[in-house]
Amino acid sequence: MNLFAALASLLTLAALAFVLWPLWRRARGATIAAIVMLSIATFALYWLVGTPAALAPQTASADGVPATLEEAITQLEAELQRNPNEPEGWRLLGRSYAAQQRHADAQAAFDKAVRLLPDDPNLLTEAAQARLFASADKQLDAQGLEMLQKALQLDPANQRARWFLGVAQRQNGQPADAAATWEPLLAQVDAATAARLRPQIDEARTEAGLPPLPAAVTAPAADAAGAHAVTINVSLDPDFASRVRLRGDASVFVIARQPGGPPMPVAVEKRSLQELPLTVTLDDADSPMPTQKLSALAEVEVFARLSASGNATRQEGDLDSAPVRVRLPADAPVELVIGRSD
């Protein structure tokens, strides 16, 4: 198991270092963090869950350790031939091919993973990246665009999906769309990364005949934005939990929106069911759209959504807590209970 975990981390590092190179040049700090976090997550997954039987390496030497990286990949290919319904195996194989610059093979592997796990925003993003690098002109095709758009629908805070979608839009002669896609990143990344990203956005806006973005927010304005943050305690009604069998992979979205306004959130955070009860603080950093931020409102409506699909947009079978209207700045935490009948 330790060998497989180490191999998974190694392949993840190699693959991500390659596929994130365009972002690396413009946002090095964010890219390093993404690579490290994903590598740790990969290692933790196999440490906690164990090596899936379908992916356990076959003996390649006296002690069972593959002699080379190519040998390990060959073993993984063989296991997936015998057990093709393993999305994580196809994901790892796609990363391995990407690290070797076998772009067409990477695309095929990620496509198989997506067919098995169609609602994983990170997987959709990786699959779209694979399609981008596999194309002869390094242009994202229609299917890749759909993957990125779906990834952002599932997870509006997915930075890599947002970055690559903007890249594709700008390549396709849609600079206004690219700028609008990238702008939410400014509220999600650190100040140094935002400073490198703003010129890219301004270039796209200039191409579209739009003025540059307003000057960066100053410290006093940032303090005002923080003052408009709202703290929310979310829990699951005990009686409801005892009567209903909930999926362990369900997601919880904590949402703030404009009262009586459009359904688009002004702030949203995604958590897992296992984290309940939980406390979140929504602020401008959680805004999916820079043109509509929490700090610009005097009042918001907050609620929590239990989603089996992992999609922030309401789906059949989703369950919302009773909404609570909050005047900003909030004096005290807001209590939301999912499944309460009264």
Closest listed residue to residue 57, CA positions, set 91, 82, 85, 94? 82
Q: What percent of the chain has pLDDT over 70?
A: 75
150 pLDDT exceeds 50?
A: yes
Shared domain for 28 and 118, answered yes or no, is yes
Asked if residue 110 and residue 9 are part of one domain, the reply reads yes
Specify if 249 maps to a domain. yes
- Is 314 within a domain? yes
In a domain, 92, yes or no: yes
Give the per-residue pLDDT at 67.
64
Alpha helices by DSSP H, the chain: 2-19, 21-26, 28-49, 69-82, 87-99, 103-116, 121-134, 142-154, 159-171, 175-182, 191-207, 219-227, 238-243
Phi, psi of 33 (to 5 degrees): -60, -40
Residue closest to 57 by CA, chosen among 7, 105, 4: 4
Q: Final residue of a domain: which of 182, 207, 232?
A: 207
Residue 155's domain spans which residues?
2-207
Same domain, 102 and 244: no
Number of domains in the chain: 2
Classify the C-alpha dihedral 231-154-157-256 as positive or negative.
negative
CATH code at position 129? 1.25.40.10
Same domain, residue pair 193 and 309:
no
pLDDT at 65: 56
The answer to whether residues 35 and 77 belong to one domain is yes
Query: Are residues 197 and 88 part of one domain?
Result: yes
Which of the listed ranges 13-17, 248-252, 312-316 does the model predict with the highest average pLDDT? 248-252
Q: Give yes or no for a contact between 322 and 340, defined as CB atoms under 8 angstroms apart.
A: yes
Answer with the one of 207, 232, 249 that is the final residue of a domain.
207
Any domain includes 216: no
Same domain, 254 and 174: no
Q: Are 30 and 182 in contact (CB under 8 A)?
A: no
pLDDT recorded at residue 145: 93
Cα-Cα-Cα-Cα torsion 262, 156, 177, 229, nearest 10 degrees, comes to 60
In terms of domains, do 303 and 154 share one? no
Mean pLDDT of 187-192: 76
Residues 200 and 88 occupy one common structural domain: yes
Maximum mean pLDDT: which of 21-35, 41-55, 111-125, 266-280: 111-125
Question: Is residue 115 domain-shared with residue 237, that is, in the same domain?
Answer: no
In terms of DSSP bridges, do strands 230-236 and 334-338 run parallel, antiparallel, or are they unpaired?
Answer: parallel
* Residue 44, pLDDT score: 36
pLDDT at 261: 73
Distance CA 146, CA 141 (A): 9
Domain boundary among 178, 207, 236: 207
* Cα–Cα distance measured from residue 26 to residue 43, given in angstroms and rounded to the nearest whole number: 27
> What does the pLDDT average to over 308-325?
84
Higher pLDDT, 312 or 150: 150
Quickly state the pLDDT bin for 66 (edges 50, 70, 90).
Answer: low
Q: Confirm whether pTM is higher than 0.85.
A: no
287 shares a domain with 233 = yes
Is position 316 within any domain? yes
pLDDT digits (tens, 9 = 90+) for 283-311: 888 887 655 778 888 899 999 999 887 77
pLDDT digits (tens, 9 = 90+) for 2-52: 334 444 544 444 444 444 434 433 344 444 344 434 443 443 333 333 333
Which pLDDT belongs to residue 341?
A: 72
Closest CA to 329 of 290, 281, 269: 281
Q: Is residue 63 part of a domain?
A: yes
Same domain, yes or no, for 182 and 325?
A: no
